[in-house]
């Protein structure tokens, strides 16, 4: 006790009453007082059950006797001395070891404890506060009164909104939008289908949907049918999905495909308005972590949502002018804030797609582009996002974890708290951004009681930690098919009120706001998800040879990580254990760090000693450390060290074990700024060297150590665009739709024999000409066949004979029995030399023409040609498929030019054409000036003009256009002849109030974004679309080399040609003239439609050149 500052206080009590009690029960006065001290102090400190049983039937006298021994083993921060006048005792305490709050509360509570110990039979009935003090606590713990129509559900309110604003936008996703009326009608169809299939009141229906508006349609339809929805995350393992379906009894799962099938099937039905929802019925169920190894299904009633919406809509100031961003996962209850409440308020929901959701930069751009007014998210995401990007919204609501201050933002920042079992939110606090403090979780929401109780379920004084109990209309209906857990956590008090036992440790501060202190049990929240370590441990113990385990959250380099400590009969690798848990648990519950131990540390009474679990140390063992060597390796390692605040990290170190998580992944991608680096590269690789390897595979660096000859001898399936053109060939096998042909009159100075020699050199240098296709087991394969490389011979003919046979030159290919190129060189009696070329699209694309003529010129002038690496490209494409490196692009709408003819071939006229072209009034010097002015490429400039033209023709603001990407961005592909193009998809939203500069900036950004999808087979996606999507192409032609070889190109008759497209648009730049062309299928479009489109495109180009400032000026509105 030496060195302690000791202070004394006097507590006045009726010691005579204590002496009488002690006399009657034959105990010593000091023993009674010591027992009262122990009970008061341990209950206020929250340590009572560390020393005493939690049996409610323990009598006070038995407790006093038991405490005699316990008192001797505990070093208390104070001593008691009974005064000689027998009406008080003195408390002497150590100031350094006792906070003022605990000291004051102890002095206040000891009198009530002593009084109740004398009056009560059982310890469990002993209170800390008097009647008047408890009454004040109840007043402090009760939110403001709230009034609403208890007979209504959220569906009733939504239907009213439909009547008032039927054409108001309700939901927006990456594919488009729907109005309130459309949402009402479509959800009625879902409800009708469910009722037709036997769904009853309070049945459960599961939704397994991507981030699309179909999710909103489905959940509303489920509620209209009187059922409750369950959101199942697409990432959940099969075992978890099976458990949810079995536990809930859900008989129907609505996937995106199923929803679309239902809407299509019943589209013509007049189903009428359906609303079987009722206030006491269930609205949804969300599964949360459970202690038994399986999650618990929390059932929420309609009346809880009605209660919550009544206070939160005015609190967030929601109305029909607001645009709410839906960012959180659908299986997370916080998503309800940005799902149901905006629709109740008459606002708009913006569902951000998964790719944008996981990219901070794209998120910021999305919020700006769509003028988002507010959203909610986990604290972890919100802190990272708002610390890095400046956005303009009305509010951001964060929750799910303890709130620590970060940079000031120019809008409302709300700290929200609420367990799933109390319908999302129980307390809120508006963060004072001018104050340096740790924000509390706030006051109870209206109509809610938030009591802080001790281990005896008795109220505690202000500034005293205790467990939070919640009461009000937002309380859940319990856990699905789990009576024991329901009875344990949903408790009826003596006053008849039902409370939810949260398990959260909190206290009221002097401002009567709740401060979150942690969990009473071991449950934790990580990245906004609630995790029950016991559930993880239960699953681990089912793994063979595991004898004991402990799951715990530890900080590694300042970042919380879920760690697993385990003891096993034999060595178990973390890969084995992690693979097993990944199949059994949700992704967020799979531990990231694994430590095998000889034994788990224990306390004296045999419990796990969590304080003695070893801290996770970075792997700095120099024997294991592999230093980065290449520039790319150094760039990765240096950036990761910066993000994770490390001194160094080696190539074999695990990014996640050193502190990485999903937010750090996004930050890493942002900082590295490498083209095509994807979050999947990091998650699938984990270790730095594997991340780099995955990235190299993605950008085509893999395989460089293999000999090109080996690649050339390998067999490949149809890849990329080849699938598309093979299907076209099969559909029109008797025509020449896939043939690219031309007849060229060569310049007079060209020698025929020398040209023949040059052509043969080009053929031998480009492997695509040797591509042989064959069928095996119903699959098409391709392989290099040297027999397909044939020497071209000079053919002597006459001018008349050549003219008479022009129609015979172009003919269909049998792709399985002949080379897919035809090259013929004719020399006539006038010494005119003609070069005829015909290539099948399976081995040749539009960009190949420029390469062909360039290489032909080089060969003609005696330059030695190097063999190209087309098979290396095929090898790379094959890897892209095998490693699933392509992510499915997102499409706004399948926007097409409206058909002139609704039925194909319904009109036959003499002037039908399939292309129309003219020269644009724009020269390259002016083009260069425009591109410099707007800081865009010619591709972006012309695509912007095309999108504005399409908007004027279709009146659709949300557009998507495909564009042809030449696929030759890798160094070894620059001179490759072959089919290497792909279709990429650019989404655009037209805003007439935008400046031209901002509009083109957005187009440029969207083009850049589309490049991240370059590994996905865009042609295959277009083929699957219900409506054909328009295609745009900009080409810079290499005409200089070809002009010196040929004099003119002769048009060939092609009666067997049938367009394989509906509407395509091309801009070509040959270095001199810039031309625009509409390629259209005359079965569906008139020539005049294409002509008008071209004229409008030209008009917009002219306005751009004139320097108009705003998009609206394009249309003179």
List, for residues 386-420, the tens digit of each pLDDT value. 988 999 999 999 988 778 777 899 999 999 999 99
pLDDT given for residue 1 in this prediction = 34
The pLDDT tens digits for 678-733 are 777 787 788 888 888 887 776 654 444 334 446 677 888 888 788 878 887 877 66
Say how far apart CA 291 and CA 294 lie, in whole Å: 7
Regarding whether 839 and 770 lie in a shared domain, the answer is yes
pLDDT of 908 reads: 37
More confident residue, 91 or 514: 514
CA gap 1051, 741 in Å, rounded: 10
Per-residue pLDDT at 704: 41
Q: DSSP string covering 949-992, please? A: HHHHHH--SEEEEEEEE----SGGGTT--S---EEEEEEEE--T
How confident is residue 475, by pLDDT bands cut at 50, 70 and 90?
A: very high
Lowest mean pLDDT among 19-28, 131-140, 981-990: 981-990
Q: Is pLDDT of 809 > 60? A: yes
Residue 688 sits in a domain whose CATH number is 1.10.1200.10
In terms of domains, do 873 and 830 share one? Answer: yes
Read off the pLDDT of each residue in 186-195 and give the average, rounded to a whole number: 96
Which single residue is written with the structure tokens 């919640």?
470
The domain in which residue 450 lies consists of: 443-519
SS3 1023: helix
Residue 92 within any structural domain of the chain: yes
- Does residue 1021 carry a pLDDT above 80? no
pLDDT over 60 at 620, yes or no: no
897, pLDDT greater than 70 = no
CATH of the domain at 1087: 3.30.559.30
Within a domain: residue 862?
yes
Q: Is the residue at 500 inside a domain?
A: yes
Beta-strand pair 716-717/771-776: unpaired
Dist. CA 20–CA 386, nearest whole Å: 65
Contact 625, 660 (CB under 8 A): no
Q: What is the pTM of this model?
A: 0.58
**For helices 360-369 and 662-672, what crossing angle results, to 10°?**
90
Does a structural domain hold residue 19? yes
Please tell me whether residues 872 and 926 are part of one structural domain: no
pLDDT at 9: 66
| Same-domain status, 165 and 198 | yes
pLDDT at position 87 is 63
The pLDDT value recorded for residue 895 is: 55
pLDDT of residue 452 exceeding 90, the answer is: yes
Sorted by sequence, the CB contacts under 8 Å of residue 227 that are 6+ apart come out as: 194, 199, 200, 201, 202, 203, 204, 205, 282
Cα 896 to Cα 902, 917, 1064, distances in angstroms: 13, 20, 10
Strands 282-288 and 1046-1050: unpaired
Average pLDDT, the chain: 83
Give domain status of residue 369, yes or no: no
Say yes or no to pLDDT of 1042 above 60.
Answer: no
Are 805 and 850 contained in the same domain?
Answer: yes
pLDDT over threshold 90, residue 478: yes
Predicted confidence (pLDDT) per residue in 298-318, tens digit? 999 999 999 999 999 999 999
Among 226, 253, 276, identify where a domain stops.
Answer: 276
What CATH number is given to the structural domain containing 722?
3.30.559.10
Of 244, 259, 276, which residue sits at a domain end?
276
What is the domain count for the chain?
A: 7
Q: Are residues 756 and 688 in the same domain?
A: no
Query: What number is the average pLDDT over the span 822-828?
Result: 95
Beta-sheet strands, E only, within 134-291: 169-173, 176-179, 204-208, 228-231, 253-255, 282-288
Res 501: pLDDT: 96
Domain boundary among 882, 899, 929: 882
70-95: buried (b, 16+ CB within 10 Å) or exposed (e) per residue? Answer: ebeeeebbbebebeeeeeebebebbe
Which of 376-380, 540-544, 812-816 is modeled with the greatest confidence?
A: 812-816
Cα 1096-1097-1101 angle, rounded to 5 deg: 115
In this prediction, residues 514-533 reach a mean pLDDT of: 76
Whether residue 404 lies inside any domain: the answer is no
For residue 238, the domain's CATH number is: 3.40.50.980
Q: Look at residue 358 in the predicted model and tell me its pLDDT.
A: 81
Give me the pLDDT at residue 500, please.
97
Least confident residue range of 817-826, 874-883, 1060-1069: 874-883
Express each pLDDT in 949-976 by its tens digit: 888 888 888 888 887 777 776 657 778 9
Q: What is the mean pLDDT of residues 792-821?
A: 91
User: 503 near 488, Cβ under 8 Å?
Assistant: no
pLDDT at 902: 55
Shared domain check, 642 and 605: no
State yes or no: pLDDT of 534 exceeds 80: no
In the chain, what's the furthest Cα-to-Cα distance?
140
The pLDDT of 123-140, averaged and rounded, is 93
Taking the C-alpha atoms of residue 423 and residue 304, their distance in angstroms, rounded to an integer, is: 7
Both 670 and 727 in one domain: the answer is no
Is residue 795 pLDDT above 60, yes or no?
A: yes
- In this structure, the answer to whether residues 783 and 682 fall within a common structural domain is no
* Claim to verify: residue 18 and residue 93 sit in the same structural domain: yes
CA atoms of 278 and 223, how far apart (whole Å):
9
Q: How far apart are CA 231 and CA 100, in angstroms?
A: 48
Strand-pair category, 204-208 with 228-231: parallel
Give the mean model confidence (pLDDT) for residues 468-497: 94
pLDDT above 70 coverage of the chain, percent: 85
Look up residue 544 and give its two tokens: 């063979």
pLDDT in tens, 59-117: 999 999 988 888 777 777 766 666 545 566 676 665 545 667 777 888 889 889 999 99
pLDDT of residue 910: 38
The pLDDT value recorded for residue 922 is 79
Do 821 and 946 reside in the same domain of the chain? no
Q: Name 567's bridge partners.
A: 548
| 1071 and 942 share one domain | yes
**Domain-embedded: residue 206:** yes
* 478 is a domain residue: yes
The stretch 632-644 carries a mean pLDDT of 87
Question: pLDDT tens digit string along 1092-1103?
Answer: 888 899 889 888
């Amino acid at each position: 006790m030496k060195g302690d500052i000791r202070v004394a206080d006097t507590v006045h009590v009726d010691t005579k009453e204590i002496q009488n009690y002690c006399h009657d029960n034959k105990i010593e006065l000091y023993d009674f007082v010591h027992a009262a001290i122990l009970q008061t102090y341990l209950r206020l400190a929250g340590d009572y059950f560390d020393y005493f049983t939690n049996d409610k039937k323990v009598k006070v006298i038995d407790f006093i006797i038991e405490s005699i021994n316990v008192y001797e083993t505990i070093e208390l921060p104070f001593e008691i001395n009974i005064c000689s006048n027998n009406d008080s005792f003195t408390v002497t305490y150590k100031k350094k070891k006792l906070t003022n709050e605990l000291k004051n509360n102890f002095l206040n509570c000891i009198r009530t404890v002593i009084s109740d110990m004398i009056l009560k039979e059982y310890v469990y009935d002993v209170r800390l506060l008097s009647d008047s003090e408890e009454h004040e606590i109840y007043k402090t713990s009760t939110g403001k009164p709230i009034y609403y129509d208890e007979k209504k559900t959220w569906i009733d309110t939504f239907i009213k909104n439909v009547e008032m604003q039927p054409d108001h936008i309700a939901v927006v996703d990456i594919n488009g939008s729907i109005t309130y009326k459309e949402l009402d009608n479509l959800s009625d169809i879902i409800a009708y289908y469910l009722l037709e299939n036997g769904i009853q009141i309070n049945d459960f229906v599961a939704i397994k949907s991507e981030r699309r508006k179909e999710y909103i349609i489905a959940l509303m339809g489920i509620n209209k049918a009187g059922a409750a929805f369950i959101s199942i995350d697409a990432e959940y393992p099969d075992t978890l999905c099976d458990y949810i379906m079995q536990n809930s009894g859900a008989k129907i799962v609505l996937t995106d495909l199923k929803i679309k099938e239902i809407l299509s099937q019943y589209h013509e039905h007049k189903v009428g308005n359906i609303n079987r929802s009722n206030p006491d019925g269930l609205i949804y169920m969300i599964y949360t972590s459970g202690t038994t190894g399986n999650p618990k299904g929390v059932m929420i009633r309609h009346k809880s949502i009605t209660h919550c919406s009544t206070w939160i809509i005015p609190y967030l100031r929601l109305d029909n002018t607001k645009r709410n961003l839906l960012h959180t996962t659908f299986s997370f209850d916080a998503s309800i804030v940005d799902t149901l409440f905006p629709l109740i308020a008459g606002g708009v929901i913006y569902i951000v797609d998964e790719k944008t959701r996981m990219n901070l930069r794209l998120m910021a751009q999305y919020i700006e582009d769509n003028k988002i007014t507010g959203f909610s998210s986990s604290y972890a995401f919100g802190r990272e996002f708002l610390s890095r990007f400046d956005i303009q919204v009305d509010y951001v609501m964060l929750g799910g974890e303890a709130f620590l201050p970060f940079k000031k933002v120019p809008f409302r920042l709300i700290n929200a708290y609420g367990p799933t079992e109390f319908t999302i939110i129980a307390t809120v606090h508006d963060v004072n951004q001018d104050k340096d403090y740790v924000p509390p979780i706030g006051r109870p929401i209206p109509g809610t009681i938030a009591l802080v109780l001790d281990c005896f379920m008795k109220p505690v004084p202000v500034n005293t930690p205790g467990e939070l109990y919640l009461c009000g209309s937002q309380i859940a209906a319990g856990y699905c098919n789990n009576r024991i857990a329901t009875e344990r956590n949903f408790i009826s008090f003596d006053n008849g009120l039902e409370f939810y036992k949260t398990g959260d440790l909190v206290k009221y501060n002097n401002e009567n706001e709740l401060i979150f202190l942690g969990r009473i049990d071991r449950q934790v929240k990580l990245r906004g998800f609630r995790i029950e370590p016991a559930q993880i441990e239960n699953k681990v113990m089912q793994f063979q040879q595991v004898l004991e385990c402990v799951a715990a959250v530890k900080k590694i380099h300042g970042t919380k990580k879920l760690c697993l400590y385990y003891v096993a009969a034999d060595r178990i690798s973390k890969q084995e254990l992690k693979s097993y848990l990944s199949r059994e648990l949700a992704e967020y519950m799979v531990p990231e760090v694994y430590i095998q131990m000889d034994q788990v540390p224990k306390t004296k009474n045999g419990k796990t000693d969590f304080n003695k679990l070893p801290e996770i140390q970075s792997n700095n063992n120099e024997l294991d450390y592999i230093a980065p060597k290449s520039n790319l390796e150094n760039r990765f390692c240096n950036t990761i060290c910066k993000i994770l605040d490390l001194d160094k990290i080696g190539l074999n170190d695990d990014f996640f074990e050193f502190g990485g998580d999903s937010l750090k992944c996004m930050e890493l991608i942002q900082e590295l700024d490498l083209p095509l680096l994807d979050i999947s590269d990091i998650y699938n690789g984990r270790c730095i060297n594997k991340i780099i390897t995955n990235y190299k595979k993605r950008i085509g660096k893999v395989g460089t150590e293999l000999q090109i000859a080996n690649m050339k001898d390998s067999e490949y399936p149809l890849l990329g665009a080849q699938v598309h053109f093979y299907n076209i060939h099969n559909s029109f096998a008797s025509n020449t739709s896939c043939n690219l042909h031309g007849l060229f009159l060569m310049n007079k100075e060209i020698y025929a024999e020398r040209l023949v020699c040059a052509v043969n050199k080009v053929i031998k240098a480009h492997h695509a000409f040797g591509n042989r296709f064959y069928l095996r087991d119903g699959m098409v394969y391709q392989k290099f066949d040297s027999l397909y490389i044939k020497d071209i011979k000079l053919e002597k003919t006459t001018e008349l004979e050549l003219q008479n046979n022009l129609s015979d030159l172009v003919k269909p290919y049998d792709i399985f029995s002949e080379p897919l190129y035809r090259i013929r060189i004719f020399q006539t009696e006038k010494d005119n030399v003609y070069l005829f070329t015909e290539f099948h699209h399976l081995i040749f694309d539009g960009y190949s023409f420029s390469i062909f003529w360039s290489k032909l010129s080089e060969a003609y002038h005696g330059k030695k040609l190097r063999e190209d690496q087309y098979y290396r490209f095929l090898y790379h494409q094959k890897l892209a498929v095998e490693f699933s490196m392509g992510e499915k692009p997102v499409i706004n709408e399948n926007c097409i030019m409206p058909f002139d003819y609704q039925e194909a071939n319904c009109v036959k006229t003499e002037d039908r054409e399939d292309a129309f072209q003219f020269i644009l009034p724009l020269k390259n010097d002016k083009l260069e000036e425009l591109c410099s002015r707007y800081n865009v490429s010619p591709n972006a400039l012309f695509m912007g003009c095309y999108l504005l033209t399409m908007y004027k023709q279709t009146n659709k603001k949300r557009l998507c256009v495909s564009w042809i990407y030449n696929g030759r961005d890798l160094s070894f592909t620059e001179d490759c002849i072959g089919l290497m193009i792909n279709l990429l998809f650019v989404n655009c939203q037209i805003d007439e109030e935008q400046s031209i500069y901002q509009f083109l900036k957005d187009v440029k950004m969207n083009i850049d974004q589309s490049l991240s999808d370059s590994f996905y087979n865009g042609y295959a996606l277009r083929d699957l679309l219900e409506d054909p999507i328009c295609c745009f192409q900009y080409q810079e032609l290499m005409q200089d080399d070809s002009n010196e070889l040929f004099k003119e190109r002769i048009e060939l008759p092609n009666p067997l040609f049938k367009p394989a497209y509906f509407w395509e648009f091309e801009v070509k730049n040959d270095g001199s003239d810039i031309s625009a062309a509409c390629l259209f299928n005359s079965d569906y479009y008139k020539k005049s439609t294409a002509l008008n489109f071209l004229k409008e495109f030209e008009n917009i180009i002219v306005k751009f050149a004139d320097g108009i400032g705003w998009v609206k000026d394009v249309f003179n509105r």
